[in-house]
Amino acid sequence: MKPIRLISGVMTVGFWTLMSRVLGVLREVMILALIGPGPVMDAFVAAFRLPNMFRRFFAEGAFNASFVPMFSKRLEADDAPLSFATQALSGLAFILLILSALAMVFMPVLVWATAGGFVGDERFALTVNYGRIVFPYILLISLTALFSGVLNATGRFAAAAAAPVFLNIFVCVSMACAYFIGGKVVLWLVWTIPLAGVAQLALVWWATDRAGLRLRPSRPRWTPAMKRLVIVAIPAALAGGVMQINLLVGQQVASHFDKAVGWLYAADRLYQLPLGVVGIAVGIVLLPDLSRRLSAQDDTGAKHAFSRAGELSLALTIPAAVALVIIPLPIVSVLFERGATGTDDSAAIAMAVAVYGLGLPAFVLQKVLQPLFFAREDTKSPFKYAVWAMIVNAAIAIGLAPYIGWIAPAFATTLAGWVMVWLLARGGRKLGDVARFDARFRRRVWRICLASIIMGAVLWAGTVLIGPFLEIAGIRFIALAALIALGIVSYAIAGQMLGAFALSDFARAFRRGQP
């Protein structure tokens, strides 16, 4: 696999992820306008976070870290890869059916464990009811992740990356329908989530069949291959889901403050936009690429792929982080301040966005560094690092809450993210030269930082000039778009002039048929 295919794969996944995240922002705009920060939104956020947490463990965490490398190596060696995938599908479905049944019964315990501050008020009962409706989504989305892993390992990224778009389309349409016919928006919202899960699973199942990769569930069997998968997957579940665990710790703390769960959720969705487009896209493409290269003992190619992934990630992420820190309030007020969301809500969300922005490069670098371990089926090392990061997160979130209030979880998540990166980079030294960024990366990274600082200065000046127009209802979105465009153009010019990147590299990545 040639290097440009890594970039092309990232661009493919990134495009569809961008579509999903943009629609996700629209979803949050509608939720904040039609429901707004308060008990109902807090309950929905806490309920929806439960299947998302387990999804990171059983799908994006455990399976992307353990199943994909093992499947890729079997595919490379032509060692019955579809039989292995079928066994994994059957075992995963069996476990998730049991988990879903238990969760439905013990939902009050789950809510108490993840949002203890809700006990004693209306939010608790609402969260339990909503949780029982949305939790089956974990079964559907985890099976979707497995089919997506099969497609990604064979170099087919489009269908798997497009599947998340269905959730946001379905949710946005359902809320709009509820609003226009006078229905209860939140009930339409929660019932649409499992329906969207069915659509996502159907898409990737159809795509695997069309690709000649026919997978059908059968009776689960405990084989040596499945034993190895479980051994690798258990620590990977925590290592891959550390961010979700940190968010849950933050939610537990925030649940003791009025509206804080909704504020942090809205801020989380904003910084997830660049994180999803860049970090998750890089991680999805890099893991099977590294696995196949290392299996073929192509250390030079693996080092090149790793370095280019890091370079691309930082070239797109550092300027996004600077923007979130410099202009969070204009972004938040234009996107979210309407209907049930007021100016005080915007100010609170913007503060959290700026704090999360400081950690954005760390969250993305994790997606670049973790595949170095996962490609070697080493999930124990990231597991240990994740434990330390979680300890740091919990200590800061709980320790600072009495002093700085509801914003403590945001600082905790950001600091824990940088601790995780430091541990991964330090642990990567034992993996040899493959885990060290090459000379080109080191030559360009400081230029990327400098170009981002220049862009930040331009954005600050632009806010002074364009600021008054951000307050005028009819042209607020146009003014924000102009401000963002100003930042993009200034960064592109500064980066090109400083040698941080070559715009021609990105142009080549978009050309179809590029080898």
Question: Which of 333, 48, 210, 273 has the alpha carbon at shortest distance from 202?
Answer: 210
Q: Is residue 361 part of a domain?
A: yes
Classify residue 76 as exposed, middle or buried by CB count within 10 Å of its CB (0-12, 13-18, 19+). middle
Q: What pLDDT is attached to residue 173?
A: 93
Classify residue 439 as exposed, middle or buried by CB count within 10 Å of its CB (0-12, 13-18, 19+). exposed
CA dihedral 391, 393, 398, 402 (to 10 degrees): 140
What is the C-alpha separation between 459 and 482, in angstroms, rounded? Answer: 10
The full DSSP string for 257-316 is STTHHHHHHHHHHHHHHHIIIIIIHHHHHHHHHHHHHHHTT-HHHHHHHHHHHHHHHHHH
Residue 349 · residue 266 · CB < 8 Å: yes
Residue listed under structure tokens 């030269």: 433
Q: Is residue 487 part of a domain?
A: no
Q: What pLDDT is attached to residue 515?
A: 35
Q: Is residue 468 part of a domain?
A: no
Q: What pLDDT is attached to residue 283?
A: 57
CA dihedral 336, 338, 343, 347 (to 10 degrees): 0
Q: What pLDDT is attached to residue 259?
A: 84
pTM of the model: 0.71
Q: Is residue 209 part of a domain?
A: yes
The angle formed by the CA atoms of residues 400, 366 and 246, to the nearest 5 degrees, is: 30
Contacts for 173 with CB less than 8 Å, ≥ 6 apart: none
What is the C-alpha separation between 236 and 416, in angstroms, rounded? Answer: 18
The full DSSP string for 348-412 is HHHHHHHHHHHHHHHHHHHHHHHHHHHTTT--HHHHHHHHHHHHHHHHHHHHHHHHHGGGHHHHH
The angle formed by the CA atoms of residues 467, 470 and 471, to the nearest 5 degrees, is: 105
Question: Largest Cα–Cα distance of the chain, in whole Å?
Answer: 66
Range of the domain at 331: 3-437
Q: Is residue 185 part of a domain?
A: yes
Q: Is residue 473 part of a domain?
A: no
Residue 376 · residue 293 · CB < 8 Å: no
What is the C-alpha separation between 338 and 96, in angstroms, rounded? Answer: 39
Q: Is residue 447 part of a domain?
A: no
What is the C-alpha separation between 368 and 373, in angstroms, rounded? Answer: 10
What is the C-alpha separation between 358 and 387, in angstroms, rounded? Answer: 22
Q: Is residue 450 part of a domain?
A: no
Q: What pLDDT is attached to residue 4?
A: 36
Number of structural domains (the chain) is: 1
- The one-digit pLDDT tens for each residue of the chain (515 residues) are 344 355 555 556 667 777 777 788 888 888 888 888 888 988 998 898 888 777 666 555 556 666 777 777 777 776 677 888 888 888 888 888 998 899 999 999 989 988 888 888 888 999 999 999 999 898 888 888 888 878 877 777 677 777 788 888 999 999 999 988 888 889 999 999 999 999 989 988 888 888 777 878 778 777 777 777 777 666 666 665 566 677 778 878 888 888 888 888 888 878 877 776 665 556 555 656 666 666 667 777 778 777 877 888 888 889 999 999 999 999 999 888 887 788 888 899 999 999 999 999 998 888 888 777 877 767 778 878 888 888 999 999 999 999 999 999 999 989 998 999 999 988 888 877 777 888 888 888 999 999 999 999 999 999 988 878 888 777 888 998 899 999 999 999 999 899 888 766 655 544 443 43
Range list of β-strands (E), 6-108 = none
